[in-house]
Chains A and B, each alone.
Chain A
Amino acid sequence: MMASIRFHGRGGQGAVTASKLLAEVAYMSGYYSQSMPFFGAERRGAPVIAFTRISDEPLFETSQVYHPNIVVVLDPVILRAVDIFSGVKEGGTVIINTTKKPEDFEFEQDYLNIITVDATGVAIENDLLLAGLPVVNTPMLGPLIRAFELLNMPLKLELLERVVTRKFGKAGMKNVSAIKQAYERAEMKTIRGKRKRKRRKKEKITVEFPISFPSEGVAGKTKMWRDFRPEIDYEKCNDCLSCWLHCPESAIRVNDRVEIDYEYCKGCLVCSAICPKRAVKTGREVFA
């Protein structure tokens, strides 16, 4: 019996670490295991994936996972950019960090088990923060244990706690309590897929020369990367253009007044930090 797991996250959220921790727990539970990151060209904030394989027989696969039994989504924002249900086996399990309910999701498969949990909330409650951002990779391992129960490949929660404590030292306890809470709060339902199946055509690529042409959005709409949202208070703004000059993303446009291009703004908040009039207010970005 082999289970394969795909993690979706954004650069810096620890999808790779989660995949490794899971492989370690599986090994300690008596399985063969493997954790494999996929490295793209992107930086922090961009969508990333990682894979774990767990089996009761030795693993020889070195290729990526295309048909996972379980998918773990660390960040609800990912759903806007990536098809997280792609290739998931019939009857597989998809675990999503979200405040939504399992029945809110649509997919092409006939049946999937959807587990939802507000891991971000759990992280904040447990003071599991890094540079002000909630750490969701470890809490998401809690509901993952549930998915393995469904597969009849039980992994022990105690072992997970041991691995996490060993990895994070003092901060381990916070992680352990977050994992437990997420495990308890996870809501699971078997859902029937409603979306129509689409045929995907592969595009033919021709590359005679390694030449590329200038274009906006080489990394897509980078608003996806935004955790914080700057907002210009035009009452205070005196059109000094400092924010325009310092914007790392060229995402501030100068028309009749300075305007933030929210399609591309990554929310680094440099504009807010340098504004001499303190006219750029900041708040948490809420997409989902």
Chain B
Amino acid sequence: MKISEMEREEYVLPGNTACHGCPSTICLRTVLKALKGRAILVIPACCTSVYMGPFPNSAIKVPVFNTAFASAAATASGIKASLEMQGDDTEVVVWAGDGGTYDIGLQALSGAAERGEDIIYICYNNEIYSNTGIQRSGATPFGAWTTTTWAGKTEHRKDVSEIMLAHGIPYVATASTGYLKDLYEKVKKAKEIKGFRYIEILAPCPPGWRFPMDKTVHMGKLAVESGMWILLESVNGRFRFTGVSRAIAEGKRKMRDLEEYLISQERFSHLSKKEIDEIRRYVQEKWSRLIKLEGEVDAAIAKFYV
């Protein structure tokens, strides 16, 4: 797909209150373009609930229902049920941050996925509670500085996309702010599938991760190229790597050094060699686990890992 073939209409309007270089606005724009604006958005407490602006105006040009932090997936289930009863087939889409997905909203998310609700759940994961000012979440990677882990987080992050795979839902995908065409395609694909669909987007946050505001997209690419973030997709249980991650898995492309990714963000600037090695070990383990899961790709880890 060429960029010129993408939807031109804007659904996230200019003059909103998002920070400079916000990954969430970049991705929400792309998602709503892929849906051609035919969606009802459910948004729990997150940056988006703020950057859409205050009453009586809103920067989002599709119907939006703001809901409480823990209840995005449940609210969306209710809206979908109502639409079904009225014979309205508008797509219901949750747009939630990682706090509302990984932590406080996980129960509602899991419940809705298990019930097979016909909704798309999109998590824009900036690996922190950024709306409240950079606190650690279940998605924050090991070693990262936040205002509740001043010396760096001491635990690795969990991975909700893998948890969603375990739910056996018809569509799970990960995407990154670095690859918007890929995101656009994945949302379009999800739209064609019925049932519970989960997409998680890595959203590098300039003030939260401490990198220059113009590097948002660059950081989204670097995360994938260094293997720290893995692009994948599972359609009806058929799991595969996509994009750059696929090239890496197939041994067609060398991973960039993880350190390149880490040193470009101030939140990791305090890491020792040992801590960097710990992250390396975590990434390596994750890759081997996923490669096993894919099964089809038999490239040995040593072959592609630098």
A286 contacts partner chain B, Cβ-Cβ < 8 Å: no
Docked-complex contact B20 and A218, CB < 8 angstroms:
no
Q: How far is the CA of A97 from the CA of B164 in the complex (A)?
A: 53
- B:4-31 near A, CB below 8 Å: 4, 6, 8, 10, 12-23, 25-26, 29-30
Docked-complex contact B13 and A242, CB < 8 angstroms:
no
Contact partners of A274 in chain B: CB under 8 A: 217-218
Q: How far is the CA of A270 from the CA of B13 in the complex (A)?
A: 17
Which of A132, A264, A267, A274 is most buried by chain B, counting CB atoms within 10 A of its CB? A274
A65 contacts partner chain B, Cβ-Cβ < 8 Å: no
Closest-CB distance, B32 to chain A (whole angstroms): 10
Closest-CB distance, A237 to chain B (whole angstroms): 14
Q: Which residue of B lies closest to A252 (CB)?
A: B14
A30 contacts partner chain B, Cβ-Cβ < 8 Å: no
Contact partners of A250 in chain B: CB under 8 A: 10, 12-14, 25, 29
Docked-complex contact A214 and B58, CB < 8 angstroms:
yes
Docked-complex contact A218 and B59, CB < 8 angstroms:
yes
Contact partners of B19 in chain A: CB under 8 A: 43-45
Docked-complex contact B13 and A215, CB < 8 angstroms:
yes
Contact for A43 among B51, B58, B215, B216, CB less than 8 A: B51
We find that the number of chain B residues with CB closer than 8 angstroms to chain A is 43
B57 contacts partner chain A, Cβ-Cβ < 8 Å: yes
Contact for A273 among B12, B18, B25, B218, CB less than 8 A: B218
How many A-B pairs have beta carbons closer than 8 Å: the answer is 133
A220 contacts partner chain B, Cβ-Cβ < 8 Å: yes
Docked-complex contact A219 and B3, CB < 8 angstroms:
no
Given A215-B57, A218-B57: A43 touches B15 (CB 8 Å cut-off): no
- A:229-268 near B, CB below 8 Å: 240-242, 244-251, 254, 261, 263-264, 266-268
Contact partners of B217 in chain A: CB under 8 A: 246, 270, 273-274
Contact for A246 among B10, B51, B180, CB less than 8 A: B180
Question: Which of A116-124, A141-149, A183-191, A205-213 lies at the interface?
Answer: A205-213
B56-75 to A contact mask, C-beta < 8 Å, 1/0: 11111100000000000000
Given A222-B14, A251-B14, A264-B14: A245 touches B216 (CB 8 Å cut-off): no
B207 contacts partner chain A, Cβ-Cβ < 8 Å: yes
Docked-complex contact B13 and A218, CB < 8 angstroms:
yes
Query: Can you sample 17 A-B contacts with CB below 8 Å?
Result: A212-B55, A212-B56, A214-B58, A217-B57, A218-B13, A218-B15, A219-B15, A240-B3, A241-B3, A242-B3, A247-B29, A249-B25, A250-B25, A254-B8, A264-B14, A268-B216, A270-B216
Binding site for A on B (CB under 8 A): 3-4, 6, 8, 10, 12-23, 25-26, 29-30, 50-61, 180-181, 207, 212-218
What would 17 more interface pairs be, CB under 8 Å, given A41-B50, A216-B59, A218-B58?
A212-B56, A215-B13, A217-B57, A218-B52, A218-B53, A219-B53, A240-B3, A245-B6, A248-B216, A249-B25, A261-B14, A268-B22, A270-B214, A273-B215, A273-B217, A273-B218, A274-B217
